[in-house]
Structure 1
Amino acid sequence: MSTSGDNPFASPEGPPNEPPQTEGSETVVTRTSVDYMECVGDVFNNPNWFVNILLSGIAIIIPIIGAMVALGYIAEIIGARAYGRMKNYPDFDFNRFGEYLTRGFWMFLVTFVVSICLMPLTMLAGGIMGAFQASENEALMVIGFVIYFGTILFVNLITFFITCPLIIRSGMLNDFVGAFDFNWIMDFIKKMWVEQLLGSILLYIFAIVFMLVGCLALCVGYIPAAGAVMIMWALFITQLYQVYVHRGGQGLPFKEATKL
């Protein structure tokens, strides 16, 4: 891992964990590569790491709006680290619940739209498999299963590669329509697909370990474990964005999120 500058994540002034609030800032602190282990270790480098993972985990389990709040906090982490405003990541602050919810709403909406758009492919593959199963022809049944499994794999991959740049755009711009810049999205995937794929595999393994440890703690540890996984993924997405800009990608303005 390498970064630009002597201390690229240092906040120029103010408290070390002050959240990013500079309207329109778009100067991204770039880095030359993704450090997957750093994504894990940095979760615990914040002095208030336990409180942050606990509150993040609690937010996740809140019905319906929990996912939006979690996504909003992820965007705040990206904004804090990618734009060089602090060394660690911002503390989860329930006083900023409204800002998290506002920003996270757009992030949640864009991922929902992608899922809806790709759903017909899954339904079509399921219909084909069902028809082939009904034929009671073993060869057709196998073909139907292969078609269905292959479609599911294809849809999941497409969703994964598209969702990451959409989350970055909607989170940084605090906007729905502005997230769908397909030239930017395709450029991001073209430049970062290897790191996206490799990182998802490695961090998925770490996530399983975190969740298993949490479940072993009489399942009570599930909540902070989920929060730790969420912050870990936020730090990973941040690094992807920084490397993307280093490779010639376009930086984005970090727009202020207001309360609902």
Structure 2
Amino acid sequence: MKLVDLNCDLGESFGAYTIGADEAVLGYVTSANIACGFHAGDPLVMERTVAMAGERGAAVGAHPGFPDLMGFGRRNMSLLPAEAEACVAYQIGALWAFAQRSGLRLQHVKPHGALYNMAAKDRALADAVARGVSSVDKELILLGQGFLLDAARDAGLRSASEVFADRAYQRDGTLVPRSREGSVIRSREEAIARTLRMVEEGRVTAITGEDIPIRADSICIHGDSPSALEFARSIRSALERRGVAIVPLSRVVL
């Protein structure tokens, strides 16, 4: 039986501002990537989201980003490798504390936004991210694309290849920048069809029209999207009807 994880970026509210339908989405995903305060989230949001994930049976992971609250972590930043490594370790440590308070163990780390996209293409940055993860806990799984997977391997970490139900791909397998038209998949039917093909065939059609290979260990639903709940529910249902088992990442990547 094919196994795949379904993950979502959660805990991205801040203070008086609520983003996403976290509690509802947690009924469908198996892994929760929880913002750690740099791009979104605050201590109370982090604590609540960790507790909700535990109650719903979703595995908990850290979702560290650039220190960019104003830009939601989606603006490129130029950090020294040591700065990037420390930023990642700092954020994992913050979420680790809340996991401890809820009696949970962190399963994985998934970089957020610009940090994720830049590290997927920049080996030095990817290595810094991987060092930040491994310095905290070598049992953590690094979830990502591109050079992040190579860096995880060389740092002695398990890695998991992530695919996106609601994002378009470039011919090199990286995501189309959000600034470009067509970068986000709005149609539920198209998202389902693309996801099924990525899981079952290991292929996806790039924005250029070419078919490219892709490995789907985990499928991401963006929690800040208005369609997050609908996509999570529909994609999970479609996969299960095809005999795919939806399980936490730790069961996919042994």
Structure with the greater relative contact order (CA < 8 A, sep ≥ 6): 1 or 2?
1
Larger radius of gyration: 1
TM bucket, shorter chain: under 0.3
More helix per residue: 1 or 2? Answer: 1
